[in-house]
Amino acid sequence: MRHRRGILLAQFMNKLARNTLDVQVVLIAYHELGFLCRLLRSDQPNSTALGKAWQVHLTGMASEKDPSQESNLGAYSPVDYMSITSFPRLPEDEAGGGDSGLRCRKEEDAFLVEGDTDPDSFLKSARLQRLPSSSSEMGSQDVSPLRETTKDPFSGDCSCRQDGLTVIITACLTFATGVTIALIMQVYFGDPQVFHQGAVVTDAARCTALGIEVLNKQGSSVDAAIASVLCCGILNPHTSGIGGGGVMIVHDIRTNESNVIDFRETAPSAIREESLKSSWEAKPGLLVGVPGMLRGVYQAHLLYGRLPWSELMSLVAGVARDGFNVTHDLALALSEHKVLNLSNQFRETFLPEGQPLLPGMFMRWLEMADILDSIGSKGISAFYNSNLTQDMVSEIHEYGGVMSEEDFSNYSARVEKPIQGVFQGHLVFTPPPPHVGPALITALNILEGFNLTSQASQENALHWITETLKIALATASRLGDPLNDPPLPGYIEEILSKSEASFLRQLINDSQSLPTDHYMSFDPLESGPAASQVLVIGPDDFIVAVVSSLNRPFGSGIMTPSGIILNSQMMDFSWQNNTANHSTFSTRNNIQPGKRPVSFLLPTIVRPAQGLCGTYLSLGGSNGDRALSGITQVLMNVLAFNKNLSDSLSLGRLHPQLQSNILQVDNEFLQADAEFLQARGHLVKRVDSLSVVHGARRSNDLIIGVKDPRSADAGAATVL
């Protein structure tokens, strides 16, 4: 029985599908559907009765097509339409019904207005009208007036139609639910959808372009940072290079995981503090620490690289081989330091005929290109365990140094977790000691308690920031290398606590400047080293910040015959009389073999504390302790005062000097603000520039890079 019903329904559906463009056939299909619904709903005893019912139905349909009844409406006449849309009666219904059945049908019929010949209006009301559905009824029924009925033949109890609608709705809902679940699973558990958008910011526009080139080659954000930082060592060899070191922070937005790769220089195994005290000026070789640059970027490539190492080195070597224009910063550094005791190789390269290179002059550095090609093909062993290593050691010894080949081969970069703080609903990541990241977090913890917003008084905010920076700088002076100072981690945990920040905040006088030792004791700080910055936010959802240095401009002033400029990082240790003004020094930062000195290299990354949507930042700063002041103020501008990144980098900055208690402000600092600070007891002194801070920002899916306008050579580029 069920099989027969299925066959009848299939016949109906096939006829409808074949004639969807024939309006009259579609109407007939409606008629057949009505009959089938009633037929299948009934309890027919056998297939013979089913066939008989179907035959009677078809015969009735044929007899209804009386040509004499057609009007000028043709195929769309009221009689045709109503006859095919009426529900047929089954034979057993008619057999027992007789005249009473016909009377019931008459009572249900509706009147047809004589002038209603418009097919459109008729079709709209057709579902509310019925005419006899069989030839037997047509023959026995007199033409009589029709009356309106409120019963809709399509709203009857047709279980077939209702079951079909239920199946369709259920299928649609099931499909929609499945697609939605699949999309959600893809978003949260599938591979990240990479959008070709990113930003690169460096101290040299040519290096920024190289970083963008790496991203366009489908390199990772770390690949772009590696190429850019090595490029900066070529265009700005006074601030960075393979003879120096640095620190990198890498943050994965999707997983909220971060790593710090510390490749700061270390003290040689044979170094002695007494030797530095007595002869460091005459023997610049004593100032050279074991270079960490190549070991660090190679470690970063092992963890996060995508392009082949050899390809990255080839791209950087091409910059040195093809040539470049001398930057303003390099030309200025050469003019200011041409009287230093620099090696003959250095003078031949950068001081031809005794005259420094000028901005815009074109030069090639073929020796550096050869070194980078060798490192690309042979790996970093070409630097740390080769003839090149012997070359560097020999040159260091010639200038009074004590470094050995074992110092090179024993050097390793550290991979560790960053120091983390929470400020204004954002996570702030910064390097752990011996870097001064804890001092930055301390400053933010103190300032958060003042509830500074864009509506706060500018004068009060500047005063609080100044006093807070005194505390932060004093904190930085008391740090050291935790591997050589077991009690240091406990001190760091203490200064990072919110309770300690609250205590220090209560020491600040809201209306009067106080000396630094009012808050805590401190150790003298050296003027900061020159540094190079590289910031990348890539389309792979990684954020990278790198700051590298040679310490002083051109480091120790020693350049090997192969073309490597060596650092002077030993000056970052605290040792008595390393400057004329210092009679005390930090024991935590004293000189020990294999130790890393305190570092103001401070790459910083910011992300939302909850979820993925919000502000992301990559920041770097130069000029030593002034970098700490500059980065703190930029973070306050963006996160607390809701300023855009461009304005935050260009606004005037201040920096308190701990020893002299002088408050330095740069040329961009408003005079009215300087006068207000003077009224609160600050000894204000204006200087040309304090620090250079670059930045990259991601707000949801918009990524921009912004350079500090104080730099004439820096470049920021965005990939859209």
Is 624 labelled a binding residue? yes
Is 387 labelled a binding residue? no
User: In sequence order, what are the residues at sequence separation of 6 or more whose Cβ sits closer than 8 angstroms to the Cβ of residue 445?
Assistant: 421, 423, 496, 498, 500, 501
Compute the distance between CA of residue 484 and CA of residue 266 in angstroms, rounded to an integer: 12
116 — alpha (psi -120 to 50), left (phi > 0) or beta? beta
Instruction: Specify whether the CB–CB gap between 607 and 426 falls below 8 A.
Output: yes
Instruction: Look up residue 317 and give its amino acid.
Output: A
Q: Which of 205, 223, 225, 206 is nearest to 319 (CA)?
A: 206
Compute the distance between CA of residue 1 and CA of residue 43 in angstroms, rounded to an integer: 9
Q: How far is CA 637 from the centre of its chain?
A: 20
Helices (H), ranges, 323-433: 328-337, 344-350, 366-378, 381-384, 387-398, 405-409
- For the beta sheet containing 414-416, the strands, ordered from the edge strand earlier in sequence to the opposite edge, are 414-416, 257-263, 245-252, 542-551, 530-537, 198-202, 715-719
Is 715 labelled a binding residue? no
Helix (H) or strand (E) holding 230: helix 221-235
Is 334 labelled a binding residue? no
What token pair was written down for 716? 């920021």
Is 572 labelled a binding residue? yes
Instruction: Look up residue 9 and give its amino acid.
Output: L
- Under DSSP, the state recorded for 639 is I
Compute the distance between CA of residue 394 and CA of residue 211 in angstroms, rounded to an integer: 34
What token pair was written down for 218? 């489908």
Compute the distance between CA of residue 105 and CA of residue 100 in angstroms, rounded to an integer: 9
User: In sequence order, what are the residues at sequence separation of 6 or more whose Cβ sits closer than 8 angstroms to the Cβ of residue 281?
Assistant: none
Compute the distance between CA of residue 118 and CA of residue 647 in angstroms, rounded to an integer: 72
Is 550 labelled a binding residue? yes
What's the count of helices (H) and strands (E) in the chain, helices before strands?
A: 26, 18
Compute the distance between CA of residue 281 and CA of residue 284 in angstroms, rounded to an integer: 6
Q: What is the CA radius of gyration of the chain?
A: 42
**Residues placed in the known binding site:** 264, 549-551, 572, 624
**Residues placed in the known binding site for L-glutamate:** 264, 549-551, 572, 624
